[in-house]
């Protein structure tokens, strides 16, 4: 696909280096660029299994996405997207302790369901649909981004909510009571937001002309400021080119470079990692590929000096984490 054909009205935003969850740089003059390659470092630890759902009289569903964050109480939180329940797709919360690397966190119950009055999950019949939570801590609040499914016009949206403690969230709505931040391109889902020196960047999955893409938008603030038009951050490569072949982006900044983690179909357990000095573009195909890891729907989590990668369990039966090290590239 010609890159010039898939830019939707966004001029290039020059973004300076900043600590973004893995590495740190205090300013452009302080950066010593070191190209690195992520590698596993230790065994998998299961933190949650697909939960029982007696509150909705449902069988166990399948865990198909998730996010990690620490709440105000100091405890780690895991939100999982569960599909194939009696009501459709929903979010379920598990709570860990103050240390991330512990097995089998405490189930806390269903924490989020679609709200059609707010324009979510419209035109999906009796089955509710919300998709892929991500939480960003910002100025004493926890901001939740998620796929809100089809709006009243049948377009697929990204939605948002907020919390003062990282436990109880409330929807952020516009003057019409809708949670929509924007729609498209195509089936917009899997949002992730990165803070930079000059603003905020949202990465998410979408599709254009039946080809999956990782799209990107920018804003001066993570909530309350308009998001730019979308452009393509990544497409094609080992993950494929089908409409659902580009999914679950997660980006970290380390030693002057940005690293994009993305997957194709989640059942393939193949996470592709791309390195770029431009946070808005990670190449066409595999021109900037640095690693392929056996994991699905990966998030990168930092706790102190340790770095972890998360993954779905085979059969969509839960979530596990594994330590990650960043080897300097030859």
Please write the tens of the pLDDT for every residue from 254-295. 999 999 999 998 888 999 999 999 999 999 999 999 999 999
Query: Does residue 29 surpass a pLDDT of 60?
Result: no
**Cβ(302)–Cβ(321) under 8 Å?**
no
What is the 8-class DSSP label of residue 246?
Answer: S
Q: State the average pLDDT over residues 6-25.
A: 32
Radius of gyration of the chain (CA): 19
In whole angstroms, what is the distance from residue 281 CA to residue 275 CA?
A: 10
Asked if residues 216 and 233 have their Cβ atoms less than 8 Å apart, the reply is yes
Token pair in block for residue 138: 């910002």
Q: What is the pLDDT of residue 221?
A: 96
Q: What is the pLDDT of residue 88?
A: 97
pLDDT of 260-269, one tens digit each?
Answer: 999 998 888 9
pLDDT, one tens digit per residue, over 228-252 is 999 999 999 999 998 889 999 999 9
> In whole angstroms, what is the distance from residue 12 CA to residue 313 CA?
38
Instruction: Tell how far CA 31 is from the center of its chain.
Output: 26
The 10s digit of each residue's pLDDT in 45-99 is 999 999 999 999 999 999 999 999 999 999 999 999 999 999 999 999 999 999 9
| Mean pLDDT value of segment 6-10 | 29
pLDDT band at 30 (very low <50, low <70, confident <90, very high): low
Other CB atoms within 10 Å distance of the CB of residue 198: 12
Q: How many CB atoms lie within 10 A of CB 35?
A: 15
Q: What share of the chain is helix, strand, coil (3-state, %, to 5)?
A: 5, 50, 45
Which run of H or E residues covers position 87?
Answer: none
d(CA 255, CA 29): 12
Q: What is the pLDDT of residues 168-177, one digit of tens each?
A: 999 999 999 9
Mean pLDDT of the chain: 90
pLDDT-derived band of residue 25, with 50, 70 and 90 as boundaries? very low
Q: What is the pLDDT of residue 180?
A: 98
Q: Are 208 and 195 in contact (CB under 8 A)?
A: no
Nearest to 73 by CA among 95, 49, 51, 103: 95
> What average pLDDT does the segment 2-19 reach?
29
Kindly tell me if the per-residue pLDDT of 17 is higher than 90.
no
- What's the pLDDT band for 196 if we cut at 50, 70, 90? confident
Residue 28 has pLDDT above 60, yes or no: no
On the question of pLDDT at 40 being above 70, the answer is yes
The whole-model pTM stands at 0.91
pLDDT at 330: 73
Alpha-carbon span 280 to 317, nearest angstrom: 34
Question: Residue 8 pLDDT more than 70?
Answer: no
């Amino acid at each position: 696909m010609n890159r010039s054909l898939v830019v939707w009205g966004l001029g290039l935003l020059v973004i300076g280096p900043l600590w973004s969850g893995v590495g740190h740089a205090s300013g452009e003059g302080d950066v010593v660029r070191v190209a690195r390659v992520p590698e596993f470092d230790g065994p998998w630890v299961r933190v949650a299994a697909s939960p029982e759902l007696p509150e909705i009289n449902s069988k166990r569903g399948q865990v198909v996405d998730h996010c990690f964050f620490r709440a105000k109480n100091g405890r780690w939180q895991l939100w999982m997207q569960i599909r194939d329940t009696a009501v459709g797709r929903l979010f379920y919360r598990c709570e860990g302790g103050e240390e991330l690397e512990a097995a089998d966190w405490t189930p806390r119950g269903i924490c989020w369901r679609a709200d059609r009055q707010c324009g979510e999950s419209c035109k999906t019949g009796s089955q509710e649909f919300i998709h892929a939570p991500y939480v960003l801590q910002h100025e004493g609040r926890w901001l939740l981004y998620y796929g809100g499914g089809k709006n009243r016009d049948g377009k697929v949206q990204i939605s948002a909510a907020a919390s003062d403690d990282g436990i109880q969230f409330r929807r952020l709505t516009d003057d019409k009571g809708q949670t929509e931040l924007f729609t498209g391109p195509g089936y917009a889902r899997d949002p992730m937001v990165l803070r930079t020196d000059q603003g905020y960047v949202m990465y998410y999955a979408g599709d254009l002309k039946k080809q999956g893409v990782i799209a990107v938008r920018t804003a001066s603030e993570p909530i309350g400021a308009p998001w730019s038009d979308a452009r393509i951050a990544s497409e094609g490569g080992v993950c494929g080119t089908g409409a659902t072949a580009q999914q679950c982006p997660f980006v970290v900044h380390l030693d002057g470079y940005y690293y994009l983690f993305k997957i194709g179909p989640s059942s393939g357990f193949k996470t592709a990692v791309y390195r770029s000095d431009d946070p808005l573009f990670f190449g066409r195909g595999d021109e900037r590929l640095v690693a392929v890891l056996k994991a699905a729907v990966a998030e990168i989590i930092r706790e102190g000096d340790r770095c972890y990668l998360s993954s779905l369990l085979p059969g969509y039966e839960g979530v596990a984490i594994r330590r990650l090290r960043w080897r300097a590239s030859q």
